[in-house]
Amino acid sequence: MEITRFVFSLLFLVMMTVGSSGSPNHWGRKRVREPCKKLVFYFHDILYNGRNSKNATSAIVGAPAWGNRTILAGQNHFGDLVVFDDPITLDNNLHSAPVGRAQGFYIYDKKEIFTAWFAFSFVFNSTQHKGSINFAGADPLMNKTRDISVIGGTGDFFMTRGVATLSTDAFEGEVYFRLRADINLFECW
Amino acid sequence: MEITRFVFSLLFLVMMTVGSSGSPNHWGRKRVREPCKKLVFYFHDILYNGRNSKNATSAIVGAPAWGNRTILAGQNHFGDLVVFDDPITLDNNLHSAPVGRAQGFYIYDKKEIFTAWFAFSFVFNSTQHKGSINFAGADPLMNKTRDISVIGGTGDFFMTRGVATLSTDAFEGEVYFRLRADINLFECW
Amino acid sequence: MEITRFVFSLLFLVMMTVGSSGSPNHWGRKRVREPCKKLVFYFHDILYNGRNSKNATSAIVGAPAWGNRTILAGQNHFGDLVVFDDPITLDNNLHSAPVGRAQGFYIYDKKEIFTAWFAFSFVFNSTQHKGSINFAGADPLMNKTRDISVIGGTGDFFMTRGVATLSTDAFEGEVYFRLRADINLFECW
């Protein structure tokens, strides 16, 4: 009888293990939203305006018929397409040693207010991080914070997914802005 | 003996549970293709043509050397890049109350026939839906239906993935088209 | 006693099965990095330069203020945006029968060296493959190999994710290049 009770205890243990295995679920049950990795970075965008060729990290390369490529277009810059190669820093100082580059593009995509759509990568090649994180999503930049998707990664960030919360940490006219990215990864391999 | 038989039954049950746990599988076994969420929306694109500034929801912002930004280019519009901020409606009526905005861009990318490549977000901020769904993929628009990828989401659509089936619900010349999007999400958190 | 020992053996078996189920893990444990599908393709890009209209498979459609749409811009082509519809072949011969099309765009996005950002689809419609694979990521093209993300797929590649390793197999001046794509899929449905 003692042994039988012990067997039942074991069985119970096994069943609990199976039941609570917390295995991810692709069919609609809620999964625990606990990041497997959290990262915070800043990146710095200096837009080419015809006079800052040396310092600029980005440039308008597409514009609507009513715009040009040295001045952001009217109607809240609707249609302006900007390519960037921005330094990534650990703090909010433009002159801190960059730990990587934010590379990709954004488009202003609404006539009535400022809003943008981003697709880019964080590219790292330092002792701390090697690899890339890929992002895409809408950036309604007048909101204090806004979420975009982490759609993949390579190297240290192999196959990762998650959400990055962007906030505008600073901006100076139409030439400089600094974004803070709070990256929360929910799939880590 | 009765107890032993009962123990075996339990064991059998446990093993069945383990065997059929249907847990997702990243190494090649087939997973059940049952959506965890299904959504249907329409979105409406009115292309700027130099005369419809007020109503236009999209504009050509990039074009090949043989094109311009008010008329879609020859060779099946190859190379035309269009930025859009289109209203999303629940039915196929352009004048229905929008439930969100489709924001992003498409490019025509074949000389021989009409075909496009889309990257955009559905952005919702209503009582019904808050958050965004991000899409990317090829849209061979002469096909009755074509599938693009849901590559991520935020808010109510946190970390989602899936497939959206696009179909052209209507078009008027080169100024207006309406797409129906049947969104099937297969990963819901 | 014999039976009890047998029960314990069974229990042990069950627990091993549960313990080693290798079920994917979205909260930080390492998963086995074994592809569920491996594919190798070549794709061929012939850039429009004003004189090769017939053969060109791609065209500059966006450029910085200092560039134009028939000659790649100075400063390592920074800001040039190229739309492509390239044939995909199984071997490295441009004239082999294409098995699909690589459709999308790339942007050159650094002033100091050549580097690019890609977003595109492999579109298949043959007896061998039907469906599409969607890619996005940074392509530091001076590196021998570089990894981009497989962010989704449709048809035969429904919901897939993975990594594609690009390498430049050949290039001729600024008109032709051929990329080899070693695609490793780690999520197959």
pTM (two decimals):
0.86
Measured between beta carbons, which residues in chain B are less than 8 angstroms from residue A147? 131-132, 154-155
Cα separation, C111 vs A21, whole angstroms = 50
Least reliable range by pLDDT among A7-21, A44-58, C101-115, C165-179: A7-21
Interval A131-138 mean pLDDT: 98
What letters, b where the CB count within 10 A reaches 16 and e where it falls short, cover B16-27?
Answer: eebeeeebbbbb
pLDDT score, position A33: 80
ipTM: 0.84
pLDDT score, position B26: 40
Q: Which of B107, B137, B186 sits opposite C105 (nearest CB)?
A: B107
A65/B62 CB distance under 8 A: no
Could you read off the pLDDT tens digit of each residue along chain B, which spans 189 residues? 556 665 555 555 555 444 333 334 343 445 568 999 999 999 999 999 999 999 999 999 999 999 999 999 999 999 999 999 999 999 999 999 999 999 999 999 999 999 999 999 999 998 999 999 999 999 999 999 999 999 999 999 999 999 999 999 999 999 999 999 999 999 999
Measured between beta carbons, which residues in chain C are less than 8 angstroms from residue A61? 62-64, 67, 79-81, 107
Measured between beta carbons, which residues in chain B are less than 8 angstroms from residue A137? 121, 132, 134, 152, 154
Distance from CA of A92 to the nearest CA of C (A): 22
A120/C119 CB distance under 8 A: no
Decide if pLDDT at C20 tops 70: no
Measured between beta carbons, which residues in chain C are less than 8 angstroms from residue B26? 24, 31, 36, 186-188
Q: Could you tell me the CA-to-CA distances from A124 to C43, C71, C114 in Å, in that order?
A: 27, 31, 16
Measured between beta carbons, which residues in chain C are less than 8 angstroms from residue B109? 83-85, 103-105
Residue % of chain C over a pLDDT of 90: 80
Q: Could you tell me the CA-to-CA distances from C56 to A187, B107, B130, C41, C87 in Å, in that order?
A: 40, 17, 44, 20, 11
pLDDT score, position A17: 45
pLDDT score, position C176: 97
Handedness of CA C79, C80, C85, C87 (dihedral sign): negative
**In DSSP terms, which residues pair with B187 in a beta bridge?**
B161
Q: Could you tell me the CA-to-CA distances from A145 to A78, B53, B67, B116, B179 in Å, in that order?
A: 21, 31, 38, 32, 30
pLDDT score, position B33: 80
Chains that touch A (3 or more CB pairs under 8 A): B, C
Q: Looking at chain C from residue 53 to 112, which residues have their Cβ under 8 Å from any Cβ of chain A?
A: 61-65, 67, 78-81, 107-111
Mean pLDDT of chain A: 89
Q: Which of B17, B23, B59 sits opposite A79 (nearest CB)?
A: B59
Residue C113, phi-psi category: left (phi > 0), alpha (psi -120 to 50), beta (remainder): beta
Handedness of CA A158, C45, B77, C50 (dihedral sign): positive
Instruction: Please tell me which residue of chain A has the smallest CA distance to B3.
Output: A4
